[in-house]
Amino acid sequence: MIQDVTGSKYSHVGIIYNKDGKTYVMEAVQPVKMTPIDEFISRGVDSKYTVVRYIWGLDKRQMKMMFDYASAQLGKNYDSKFQWSESSMYCSELVFKIYYNAGIQLCDIHQFKDYNLSSEDVQNEIKVRYNTEIDPDELIVTPVDLYNGLSTGVVFDNY
């Protein structure tokens, strides 16, 4: 659905962490967790993925702030309604807020009304998830917003 709404090939996003010589992806699934990178990649269609990096670099203070904020999100429920809150997280919200907590805004924040919600499939999914209309002014950041952010650059892409 997110691909249809945004007109993008991207539907999920996480943030890479190296710990004890191993590489993980922190992602908002059920629940927010650290996933070994091989497992994360294998869940994608044909194991296709893109790696995007903040282009201005991070200092140790920013990295600590990001890690501390990210660690506090572990175990939170996945937010299937894509609401801009701290009680639960969806994938691109998690990545955006990890950086934002360190004073870095990777991309613009949008609203639901900025996206194409008109298809029958999307409207049916909205009814299932919300049991009502969505708030068109609800804030949202999508995977493609992060990809297109002015502060990000592609490091690797095998699409």
Tens-digit pLDDT profile for residues 55-73: 999 999 999 999 999 999 9
Distance CA(58)–CA(67), nearest Å, equals 12
CATH class of 11-109+142-154: alpha beta
Burial (CB count within 10 angstroms: exposed 0-12, middle 13-18, buried 19+), residue 82: buried
pLDDT at residue 29 in the model? 97
* pTM summary value: 0.94
Contacts with 140 (C-beta within 8 Å, 6 or more apart), sequence order: 82, 84, 93, 109, 110, 111, 112, 114, 115
pLDDT at residue 106 in the model? 95
- Interval 96-117 mean pLDDT: 95
pLDDT at residue 50 in the model? 96
The H or E element containing residue 121 is helix 120-130
Tens-digit pLDDT profile for residues 75-97: 999 999 999 999 999 999 999 99
Triad 132, 11, 63: Cα angle to 5°: 110
pLDDT at residue 84 in the model? 95
Contact 145/11 with Cβ under 8 angstroms?
no
Q: Where are the domains of the chain?
A: 11-109+142-154
Average pLDDT, the chain: 94
**Side chain identity at residue 141, one-letter code:** V
